[in-house]
Amino acid sequence: MHNIKLKIEYDGTEYVGWQFQPNGKNIQNEIEKCLKQILQEEITLIGAGRTDSGVHARGQVANFKTNKTIDLKKIQNSLNSLLPDDIKILDVQEVSLDFHSRYSAKSRFYTYYISTYPTALFRNFSWYLKYDLNFELLNECCKLVLGTHDFEGFSKLDENNEHYLSNVYISRWIFRKRFLKYQIEANRFLYGMVRGLVGSMIDVARGHMTLDDFIAVLDKKDRTKAGQFAPARGLFLENIKY
């Protein structure tokens, strides 16, 4: 038995997310179909991050098991020749049999991109905001997120969650001339958590919420006091640490 690890990049614009949904095509199935064609067997791919519809990835990780001995470089080239242009396999490795792309992960790192000017080239990869923002308030919000908190108020309902605790190691805004980006690394992420945080931070920075409102959502886990969910198109899964 061999355990094969893939590092994957994709543009999530045309997909309903990483895993199966009844209403459209998903990343996982596209790769599984190609693996079945190459290996001539049914393959189940396990992804590290279950990205939502429209979310992109530069460093998604997935693994699958097979009894066949394979040439890793040949598998990578074959997959990239069969996959659509918006999905690419960046690396293929054989790993220990106990490696699990999701449960072996120590942390995940996401970036959210915001453009401050209308752009045709990056319209599918950023959230365009045309109003003024208070950068000091953005920084205040992102500092509050650091450490272990219950993020139920900033996430979407997920009946599979036993709890809503996450330990955030990095939470920072980076300001450029025409772009802002929010970077966050944590041991685990809840459904919609990054988009919920970004949307509420932006609402604080534009005066639609107060900093006290943001703190109340974090402390009291009250979703009704939270802001909007940022659009999926600005979110990138950057890296998984093991």
List Cα–Cα distances, 25 to 20, 31, 55, 89, 126, in angstroms.
7, 11, 13, 18, 22
Alpha carbons 169 and 22: distance in angstroms, whole number: 35
| Per-residue tokens: 143 | 């500092």
How many CA atoms within 13 Å lie on the side-chain side of 205? 23
Four-point Cα dihedral 26, 240, 193, 50, nearest 10: 20
Determine the Cα angle at 141 with ends 233 and 17, to 5°. Answer: 25
Listed residue (12, 4, 58) closest to 35, CA to CA: 4
Alpha carbons 35 and 31: distance in angstroms, whole number: 6
The DSSP bridge partners found for residue 127 are 114
Q: Are 153 and 226 in contact (CB under 8 A)?
A: yes
* 52 is annotated as an active-site residue: yes
Q: Are 80 and 38 in contact (CB under 8 A)?
A: no
Rg of the chain in Å (alpha carbons): 19
The active-site residue out of 11, 52, 98, 203 is: 52
Q: Which residues are catalytic?
A: 52
